[in-house]
Structure 1
Amino acid sequence: MKVAVMGAGAVGCFYGGMLARAGHDVVLIGRPQHVEAIARDGLRLEAQQFDERIGAPRVTASTEAAAVAGADLVLFCVKSTDTESAGASIKPHLGEHTLVLTLQNGVDNAERLRGVITQDVAAAVVYVATEMAGPGHVRHHGRGELVIEPARASETAARALIAAGVPTEISPNVRGALWAKLIVNCAYNALSAITQLPYGRLVQGAGVSDAMSDIVAECVAVAQADGVTLPPGVDGAVSHIAQTMPGQYSSTAQDLARGKRSEIDHLNGYVVQRGAALGVPTPANRLLQTLVRLIEDKAHAVI
């Protein structure tokens, strides 16, 4: 299978690297510093069980959206803020039968992408702890499961991922799974970003457990008002993250540490937006969204 990764950051490089190790041809589309490093030295995939470099012909890299041409599967891994623009950039180059799999934070990216392209789009829920440790170097801290929405080629993609060592399942309730992941992100991402603490240390702070309970309760209330069927054990899943990913900093924390804009409007901000539309109060989520935005504005202020 030919695979293209659109937005080859930590998540895209991890899953693209795993597929390449299994024998698939993978092109990583990302920022120049990563593309240059991968072209020169190959992709370094530092996982928990191995540390390898994967180069051409299995892994190639490009800065151009046109590199998706000929792909059977596109792993769509851009920030939620860039969904429509990135979708438009790859649209002219997609094959008729290409499956585009959205590996993104948030709950509405697949729907938004379907408004841009005509190919099959399937949402995926991602449970992985990764970071870009340097140009062309992805470090895997834990987990790696995917839950995929049914689509024409979902079973083919799932089989390839499973064979590559990625635990994958196809679920008819991906919307519920996406919301469950959103709730976890709302509980951790902003707090990790504001404090610049990894999950394990974060949850040890005084009052953090109660604050997370408030955040989760608001999210659950909005989801229920929105007709979402949440999978059982959401509270347990929230506490489980700190145990399985104690050294992980949230993606929002990594964005703020680099002075970048985050996806906060698609995480806690999305809960605030839907809560306002449905008449459900969300003061805890609103406060977190506001604080992260203030930190972003401070970093981007012109002095």
Structure 2
Amino acid sequence: MKNSATKSPRIVVAGAGAIGCYVGGLLAHGGMQVSFLGRARILDTLRSHGLRLSDYSGMDVSVPPDALDLHEAPAILADADLILVCVKSAATAEMADQIAAYAKPDAIIVSLQNGMGHADTLRAALPSHDIRPAMVPFNVVPKELGQFHRASSGDIVIGAGPAGIDQLMSVAGLDVSQSDEIEAVQWGKFLLNLNNAPNALSGLTLHEQLLNRPWRRLMADQMAEALHVLRAHNCTVRPTTPVPVALVPHILRLPTPLFRRVAAKMLTIDPEARTSMAHDLMAGRITEIDALQGRIIAMGREKSVKTPLCEAMLLAVKQAEQTGAKPHSPESLRS
């Protein structure tokens, strides 16, 4: 990582969506040199209104339009010392090709993406680069006029390595640490991300869903199904919450009054928060269901482990992508 007393590293956010705008915006607000690579649909709004970044605890900061470096062409990657890959799962290979075409060989690349395996996709196209997988525990809600709202708690973890990337990325409102067990940490977040689909199909906010015992029981059963698959593959899982992973399904199944007391930290979310998949369906966009439930289904088949709930979620989301989102019940998804 190039860093001198006179010039800070240039960071390029490759994928100016919700996570990219939120993380990149806080880095820019913290005084870092940040460029945003994205689509005109989002960048035009930022050109007009700037970036406003808020969170569930009351933080509310802004980056004015004239302080934002916005690009639709991938040539900006040539200036990057650090590239934060924030594109959707299906766009990872395309972004890897763009990085290979433009980026400097010593640019460090961090994948701030949902799901597993994105770092492997990047390494396959970029064998000479320092590639770091990461885990982003919180969800970010896009709002109107360039506002991005962090709706849940947690700190980013990236794969361990040289260059002090965690210290570089830690600014006001954003804490980043490193782990030499990043894959296990990612699996812990992956299990929680499996609720993206049930939440998107429920029509409820995350808070409403978590206070609804039938939905929690469905979440618990799906998580238990996925844990069975991961154990069959001998995957190590590190929890992203203080609760051991194996206990989470049991906690979710508790009666609601007891669940409220035991899982207080799980309820530290904005009352209006929904998962990114819910926002994708509402906007008519293709989701990341293949990288979540789809991966568990494929891994289950490899070990002859049945995954009926994940299959039901995938089918329902695929239908919603084609015909529009309609609220489901836990019972309809089980059947």
Residue ranges of structure 1 left out of the alignment (5+ in a row): none
Secondary structure at 1:207's aligned position in 2? helix
- 2:151 pairs with one of 141, 163, 166: 141
Residue 64 (structure 2) pairs with residue 55 (structure 1): yes
Secondary structure class of the residue paired with 1:143? coil
Structure 1 residue 58 displacement after superposition = 4.6
Matched, 1:253 2:263: no
Which has the larger strand fraction? Answer: 1
CA contact (8 A) 2:158 2:178 kept: yes
Q: How does 1:1-303 map to 2 (within 5 A)?
A: 1-47=9-55, 48-55=57-64, 58-118=67-127, 119-153=129-163, 156-186=164-194, 188-231=195-238, 233-234=244-245, 242-245=266-269, 246-299=271-324
Q: 1:242 to 1:248 in 2, by over 3 A?
A: farther
Contact 1:146 1:167 in 2 (8 A): yes
After the TM superposition, which of the residue ranges 141-150 and 276-285 deviates more from structure 2? Answer: 141-150
Alpha-carbon contact 1:42-1:53 (below 8 Å) kept:
yes
Question: Aligned partners of 1:214 and 1:237: how far apart in 2?
Answer: 10
- Residues 209-248 of structure 1: CA distance to partner in whole angstroms, max 9, x if unpaired? 2212211111111111222111251256675574122532
* Residue pair 1:149, 1:170 contacting (<8 A) in 2 also: yes
Structure 2 distance, partners of 1:58, 1:64, is 19
- SS for the counterpart of 2:153 is strand
The C-alpha deviation readout for 1:12-44, integer Å capped at 9, x for no partner, is 111111111211011111221321232333222
Per mean C-alpha deviation after superposition, the further-off stretch among 45-54 and 249-258 is: 45-54
Taking the aligned partners of 1:56 and 1:211, their CA distance within structure 2 comes to: 44
Shift of 1:299: 3.9
Q: Could you list the per-position Cα deviations for residues 78-130 of structure 1 after superposition, in whole angstroms to 9, with x for gaps in the alignment?
A: 00011101211232111111111001110111111111223211100001121
Any conservation in 1 of the 2:294–2:310 contact (CA below 8 Å)? yes
Separation in structure 2 between the aligned mates of residue 272 and residue 15 of structure 1, nearest angstrom: 31
- In structure 2, distance between residues paired with 1:136 and 1:121: 30
1:284 CA displacement: 0.9
Q: Any conservation in 2 of the 1:42–1:54 contact (CA below 8 Å)?
A: yes
Q: Matches of 1:94 and 1:236 in 2, distance apart?
A: 44
**Deviation digits for residues 115-146 of structure 1, max 9, x if unmatched?**
12232111000011212112432122232511
- Tell me, in whole angstroms, the C-alpha distance in 2 between the residues paired with 1:137 and 1:195: 25
What letter matches 2:314 in structure 1? Q
Give the ranges of 4+ consecutive aligned residues of structure 1 lying more than 4 Å apart after TM superposition.
Answer: 235-242
| 1:100–1:121 Cα contact (<8 Å) kept | yes
**Residues 265, 289 of structure 1: 8 Å contact kept:** yes
Aligned residue pair count: 297
Deviation digits for residues 181-212 of structure 1 (CA, Å, limit 9, x no counterpart):
111011x2111111121111112334222212
How far apart are the structure 1 equivalents of 2:66 and 2:106?
Answer: 24
- Distance in 2 (CA, whole Å) between partners of 1:135 and 1:5 is 20
Which secondary structure does the structure 1 equivalent of 2:155 belong to?
strand
Q: Please, which runs of 5 or more residues in structure 2 have no aligned partner?
A: 1-8, 253-262, 326-335
How far has the Cα of 1:172 moved from its partner? 1.3
SS at match of 1:106: coil
**Amino acid in the other structure paired with 2:157:** V
Secondary structure, aligned partner of 1:101: strand
**Aligned match of 2:328:** none
- Structure 1 Cα separation of the partners of residues 306 and 197 of structure 2: 19
**Is the 2:49–2:145 Cα contact (8 Å) retained in structure 1?**
no
Q: Which one-letter code corresponds to 1:78 in the other structure?
A: V
Name the amino acid aligned to 1:274. Answer: M
Shift of 1:174: 1.0
Identity %: 28
Distance 2:45 2:289 in 1: 30
- Letter matched to residue 207 of structure 1: P
